[in-house]
Structure 1
Amino acid sequence: MNKPNSYTSIEKSLPNSMFVKPMTEEEVKKEILSLNNTNSEGYDEEYTRPQLLEIVNRYKPEPVYAVDAILKGLGHKISHLPPYHCDLNPIEMIWASMKRKVAEVNIGKPANQMPEMVQEAFNSIPVEEWCNHCAHVKKLEEEYRSKDGYLDAPFIVELCSESEESNSQDESDEEFNSIEPLAIVHAEHNYSKKI
């Protein structure tokens, strides 16, 4: 294949633009039933629904988006952005800048002049602004990558040492033994009465 014609950055596509769509409940049932025949792992009759769904997810194909297939067929390279992270898309920043420029000049003008205003706003955005937004996104990506390791590390909170634990266990048992359960009160309510 030739060198890509362009590099396209897309926010996560919607499910209705997929060639391979997520399974419906009925398809999940059929997939679970066919597991014993197609995979060596199979399933036990006593598996719970979450256990069965976990097995199905292991063998489920990745979604294939229509836009990906079309663009790859035309020789373009695609990058998917995580949903709800427009801060990682320099085009979103340019779009915001362009909307601001259009709003500044769109006072009392008819709607048929909108295409010219948009084109003028787009043409007025300098190359340096594009470069600044791209550099800002790269900086954010690096920050996210550096912070990503913090989420993967286990977070363990020790409330007391082992020696304190045995003493406090005896004390807490005494506290719980002295607590009496709450009495259940059945109150009669008649909300239909008028006052």
Structure 2
Amino acid sequence: MNRTNFMKWLSEKLIPNLPPNSLIVMDNAPYHTVQVNKAPTMSSSKVQMQEWITNKELSYLPTMLKAQLYQIIKEHKEAPIYEADQLLISHGHKVVRLPPYTCDLNIIEFMWSLSKRRVASNNVGLEAGNIVKLTEEDFSSTTPQDWQKQCEHVIHLEDNFYERDGCMDNITDKFIIELGNESSTDSDT
């Protein structure tokens, strides 16, 4: 998958089949997070940084180093706007994004796992060429109950996270760890 294929699928397959005012949960795959307002980074050229600052109608001194230009960029860059989000919003839908690195809260990951297990169990002794056929059959046999079960599993995981966070919030005793002072003793604290 890449940006071009994803945007084509979004436009031609997903959006025409979504009910009005749908809520789309998006993960952080690179092709989901193509920014339309991407700011230069420290690895950008000095000229790119200067152009970005000028386009934002900000000022800089010609003698400034890249690090100084980048400081201006960091202070003025906007929250990311994603191409996919704009397309979905333009069709009346809302997008929420999973926090980065939280595949354990991504229901689609559990659905993929379920499909892979079912395909593997039905592929005993069959040729590798049958994988596509078995996968398509599995996708077409996936039920709303399969999705519901995976949604309930993620809700259970979320509840566990909230419970653990709540335990941390209830801790009233504080402890201090001092770093870099090897000569301290118990009587010093």
What TM-score comes out, normalization by structure 1 length?
0.58
Name the structure 1 match of 2:25: 9
Q: How does 1:105-120 map to 2 (within 5 A)?
A: 105-106=122-123, 107-109=125-127, 111=129, 113-120=130-137
Name the structure 2 match of 1:165: 188
Render the CA deviation track for 1:144-169: whole Å, top value 9, x for unaligned. 34545749x986236757xx339xxx
Matched, 1:134 2:151: yes
Name the structure 1 match of 2:176: 156
1:78 counterpart (95, 104, 107): 95
In 2: Cα distance, 1:93 partner to 1:13 partner: 16
In 2: Cα distance, 1:110 partner to 1:53 partner: 51
In 1: Cα distance, 2:73 partner to 2:86 partner: 25
Render the CA deviation track for 1:7-66: whole Å, top value 9, x for unaligned. 22211142772212231242345667899x748xx99x99994x8745532320122211
| Greater than 6 Å deviation, 4+ residue runs | 32-35, 45-48
SS where residue 20 of structure 1 aligns? coil
In 2: Cα distance, 1:156 partner to 1:47 partner: 40
In 2: Cα distance, 1:8 partner to 1:110 partner: 34
Q: Measured at CA, do residues 165 and 109 of structure 1 come closer, stay the same or move farther in structure 2, by a change above 3 Å?
A: closer
Structure 1, unaligned runs of 5 or more = 167-195
Structure 2, unaligned runs of 5 or more = 1-18, 179-183
Name the amino acid aligned to 1:121: D
Name the amino acid aligned to 1:60: K
Q: Measured at CA, do residues 160 and 33 of structure 1 come closer, stay the same or move farther in structure 2, by a change above 3 Å?
A: farther
Name the amino acid aligned to 1:12: N
Aligned length: 155
Q: Measured at CA, do residues 85 and 61 of structure 1 come closer, stay the same or move farther in structure 2, by a change above 3 Å?
A: same
Contact 1:18/1:66 (CA < 8 Å) preserved in 2?
yes
Q: Measured at CA, do residues 142 and 22 of structure 1 come closer, stay the same or move farther in structure 2, by a change above 3 Å?
A: farther
Name the structure 2 match of 1:102: 119
What TM-score comes out, normalization by structure 2 length?
0.60
Q: Measured at CA, do residues 46 and 80 of structure 1 come closer, stay the same or move farther in structure 2, by a change above 3 Å?
A: same
